[in-house]
Amino acid sequence: MSERLRVCLILEGSYPFITGGVSSWVHQLIQRLPEVDFVLYTISPKKDQTLSYELPENVVEHVDLVLSERKKSSYKSLYRKKKIFKEIVEMHKLFMLNTVPSIDNLINMMEPGYYLYYDSVKQREGWNLIVENNVKNNPIYPFSDYFWAWKSTHDMIFSVMGFEAPDADVYHAISTGYAGLAGVVAKIRKGKPLILTEHGLYHKEREIEIRRTNLIRGYQRDMWIKIYNMLSKLTYKYSDLIISLFEYNREKQIELGAPEEKTLVIPNGIDIERFASIKREKREGFHVGLVGRVVPIKDIKTFISTAKIISKEIPESQFYCIGPTDEDPGYFEDCKLLVKSFHLENKFHFTGKQDVRKYYSFLDVLMLTSIREAQPLVLLEGFCSGVPAVATRVGNVPELLDYDDNFLAPSKDPVKLAAGVKYIYDNPETMQGIVARNREKVIRFYDREKVYRKYGDIYQGVARGEGWLE
Fold category of 272-446 in CATH: Rossmann fold (3.40.50)
pLDDT at 281 (0 to 100): 94
Bridge partners (DSSP) listed for residue 391? 368, 408
Amino acid identity, position 86? K
- Per-residue model confidence as pLDDT tens for the chain (470 residues): 558 999 999 999 999 999 888 998 999 999 999 999 999 999 999 999 999 999 999 999 999 999 989 888 766 666 678 889 889 988 988 888 889 999 999 999 998 999 999 888 888 888 998 998 888 887 788 888 889 888 988 999 999 999 999 999 999 999 999 999 999 999 999 999 999 999 988 888 888 888 878 777 777 888 889 999 999 999 999 999 999 999 989 999 999 999 999 999 999 889 999 999 999 999 999 999 999 999 999 999 999 999 999 999 999 999 999 999 999 999 999 999 999 999 999 999 999 999 999 999 999 999 999 998 888 989 999 999 999 999 999 989 999 999 999 999 999 999 999 999 999 999 999 999 999 999 999 999 999 999 999 999 999 999 998 876 55
Contact 217, 227 (CB under 8 A): no
Q: Decide: pTM greater than 0.75.
A: yes
The domain limits of the chain are 6-71+161-268+450-463, 79-153, 272-446
pLDDT at 76 (0 to 100): 63
CA distance 175 to 165: 16
CA distance 182 to 162: 10
pLDDT at 469 (0 to 100): 56
Domains 6-71+161-268+450-463 and 272-446 in one fold: yes
Rg (the chain; Cα; Å): 24
> Three-class SS string for the chain?
CCCCCEEEEEEECCCCCCCCHHHHHHHHHHHHCCCCEEEEEEEECCCCCCCCCCCCCCEEEEEEEECCCCCCCCCCCHHHHHHHHHHHHHHHHHHHCCCCCCCHHHHHHCCCCCCCCCHHHHCHHHHHHHHHHHHHHCCCCCHHHHHHHHHHHHHHHHHHHHCCCCCCCEEEECCCHHHHHHHHHHHHHHCCCEEEEECCCHHHHHHHHHHHCCCCCHHHHHHHHHHHHHHHHHHHHHCCEEEECCHHHHHHHHHCCCCHHHEEECCCCECHHHHHCCCCCCCCCEEEEEECCCCHHHCHHHHHHHHHHHHHHCCCEEEEEEECCCCCHHHHHHHHHHHHHCCCCCCEEEEECCCHHHHHCCCCEEEECCCCCCCCHHHHHHHHHCCCEEEECCCCHHHHCCCCCCCEECCCCHHHHHHHHHHHHHCHHHHHHHHHHHHHHHHHHCEHHHHHHHHHHHHHHHHCCCCCCC
pLDDT at 140 (0 to 100): 80
- Give the CATH number of domain 6-71+161-268+450-463: 3.40.50.2000
Q: How far is CA 303 from CA 321, 331, 379, 390, in A?
A: 9, 14, 16, 11
